[in-house]
A = this chain, B = another copy of it.
Amino acid sequence: MRLTRYLLPTLKENPAEAQIASHRLMLRAGLIRQEAAGIYAWLPLGLRVLKNIERIVREEMDRAGAVELLMPTLQLADLWRESGRYDAYGPEMLRIRDRHERELLYGPTNEEMITEIFRSYVGSWRSLPLNLYQVQWKFRDEQRPRFGVMRGREFLMKDAYSFDLDEAAARRSYQRMFVAYLRMFDRMGVKAIPMRAETGPIGGDLSHEFLVLAQTGESAVFCDRAVLDLPVPGADVDYGGDLTSLVEAWTAPYAATEDVHEVERFERDVPAERRLLARGIEVGQIFYFGTKYSVPMNAVVRHADGIERPIHGGCYGVGVSRLVGAIIEASHDDQGIVWPDGVAPFQVGLLHLKHGDGRVDAACESLYASLRAAGLSVLLDDTDERPGAKFARMDLIGLPWQVRVGPRGLDNGTVELKHRASGERREMAPDDAVAFLRQALSPLQPDDQP
């Protein structure tokens, strides 16, 4: 993409309304624009990050055997009356009347609708286990939306729902999601720690939150440092096999948010030198809720013995739009964002440092073509601004690698590479730069086929 043909409205000053780093940087780097309290437009650069996160989420959900569908944003109020949650949900539910005075609502979550879909089509034990997921916009009418996309009202969420014959099978479904979550957050370049959690309004008796560690996180977290060194399961993890030991390894070390923190247990079980007091941002939560929705909504299947029994359910959320903010909280410096490779909006920023210089024009065009032919995504800064402004903007938007092309380097036959995260720079011949970046960055891949 050529910057002169793009929309990238960066800001030099910190916007007054933004209280946290990610909100400031998302506004400054031209990722989002507020359209109403807690409602944002995703500008082109921000949308690319959002889509990268979506892609990773989908690939890992598909790999774990989940099946994607898409439910509408609006739902009938009557569906929520069936589960008893319509009145219970409170003012965060956006209630709507259409032209015929029918009561609708903007879905804040989808347990009711997915249960209704399931019971309409699935009647036999043969169809289970089944895990259905979607990536869809949701709305919660927060009393006081703030912190940008971290606590917005209209937000993008991945929500998955598992259906199983009994508790034992449902716990296996839960474990598959647990492992898929470890993988997806790892691919996004953040440390996300699973922590035992309260189940809240979703219900049930087993739940874990996944928190991204960030100094500016919203919650205090207390954990055993041992959890930081656990190896994340590889792409070859066997979702058909027994994942118990893997999940146990990740849940054995102490890890708790302040809500459920037990000081005594922490001090008894964790040696002082391994006690980590950090802060974190919740980016996902998984629940096993048993028959909480299947009983009132009559979602039953016939077992092999011919008897119908309510299914055992779980649900599994990831805050897709919130993750954009959480990743920035975990990965930024004074100059701006430092995107992890897996989610960066472009992999390479190519800087043209001398407007009107034919040699620099030619070198940039050639590099732009070669890098793209190597399957890399490239943002070419072809504006007529001065180099200092280009350096500052490129650091602010945080692409993993910069290639700086100017007349002085070309005199020596070189361009300059800068690695955004480490700040390391090196000179090399243009062709070597392409070969180096092709090695350092993976080319874009088509989505894994389910």
By a beta-carbon cutoff of 8 Å, the part of chain A in contact with chain B is 1, 4-7, 9, 30, 33, 35-37, 39-44, 47, 50, 65, 67-76, 79, 91-92, 94, 96, 98-99, 102, 104, 106, 113, 117, 120-122, 126-127, 130, 132, 137, 139, 141, 143, 153-154, 372, 377, 444-447, 449-450
Q: Does the CB pair A72–B446 fall under 8 Å?
A: no
In the complex where A47-B68, A99-B141, A444-B449 touch, is A154 in contact with B74 (Cβ < 8 A)?
yes
Q: For the complex of A and B, list the 8 residue pairs with the smallest distance between their C-beta atoms, beginning with the closest.
A: A9-B121, A42-B70, A446-B446, A41-B71, A91-B99, A39-B72, A99-B141, A36-B76
- CB contacts (< 8 Å) of A98 on chain B: these are 94, 141, 153
CB of A325, distance to nearest CB on chain B (Å): 16
Known: A35-B76, A377-B449. 8 other contacts (CB 8 A): A1-B450, A7-B69, A35-B75, A44-B69, A74-B106, A74-B154, A96-B96, A444-B446
Q: Say which residue of B5, B50, B113, B444 sits within 8 Å of A41 (CB atoms).
A: B113
- CB contacts (< 8 Å) of A44 on chain B: these are 67-69, 132
Q: Does the CB pair A72–B35 fall under 8 Å?
A: yes
- CB contacts (< 8 Å) of A94 on chain B: these are 96, 98-99
Q: Does the CB pair A70–B41 fall under 8 Å?
A: yes
- CB contacts (< 8 Å) of A445 on chain B: these are 446
A71 CA to B35 CA in the complex, in Å? 9
- CB contacts (< 8 Å) of A69 on chain B: these are 7, 41-44, 47
- CB contacts (< 8 Å) of A96 on chain B: these are 94, 96, 106
Central interface residue in A6, A68, A70, A449, by most chain B CB within 10 Å:
A70
Q: Does the CB pair A137–B41 fall under 8 Å?
A: no
For this complex, 29 residue pairs linking A to B, each with C-beta atoms less than 8 Å apart, are: A4-B127, A5-B67, A5-B130, A6-B67, A33-B117, A33-B120, A35-B71, A35-B72, A35-B75, A36-B102, A36-B104, A37-B102, A39-B72, A41-B70, A41-B71, A42-B71, A43-B69, A44-B69, A44-B132, A47-B69, A73-B137, A74-B106, A74-B139, A94-B98, A96-B106, A99-B141, A99-B143, A444-B447, A446-B446
Q: Does the CB pair A122–B73 fall under 8 Å?
A: no
CB of A407, distance to nearest CB on chain B (Å): 23
A104 CA to B96 CA in the complex, in Å? 11
Closest B-chain residue to A372, C-beta based? B449
A69 CA to B143 CA in the complex, in Å? 27
- CB contacts (< 8 Å) of A68 on chain B: these are 44, 47
In the complex where A7-B121, A121-B7, A446-B445 touch, is A47 in contact with B75 (Cβ < 8 A)?
no
Q: Does the CB pair B130–A7 fall under 8 Å?
A: yes
- CB contacts (< 8 Å) of A5 on chain B: these are 65, 67, 130
A65 CA to B122 CA in the complex, in Å? 45
A351 CA to B12 CA in the complex, in Å? 60
Closest B-chain residue to A42, C-beta based? B70
Q: Does the CB pair B126–A4 fall under 8 Å?
A: yes
A6 CA to B66 CA in the complex, in Å? 9
- CB contacts (< 8 Å) of A1 on chain B: these are 67, 450
A5 CA to B69 CA in the complex, in Å? 14
Closest B-chain residue to A75, C-beta based? B35
Q: Say which residue of B47, B65, B154 sits within 8 Å of A72 (CB atoms).
A: B154
Q: Does the CB pair A36–B75 fall under 8 Å?
A: yes
A35 CA to B7 CA in the complex, in Å? 38
In the complex where A7-B121, A76-B36, A99-B141 touch, is A70 in contact with B50 (Cβ < 8 A)?
yes
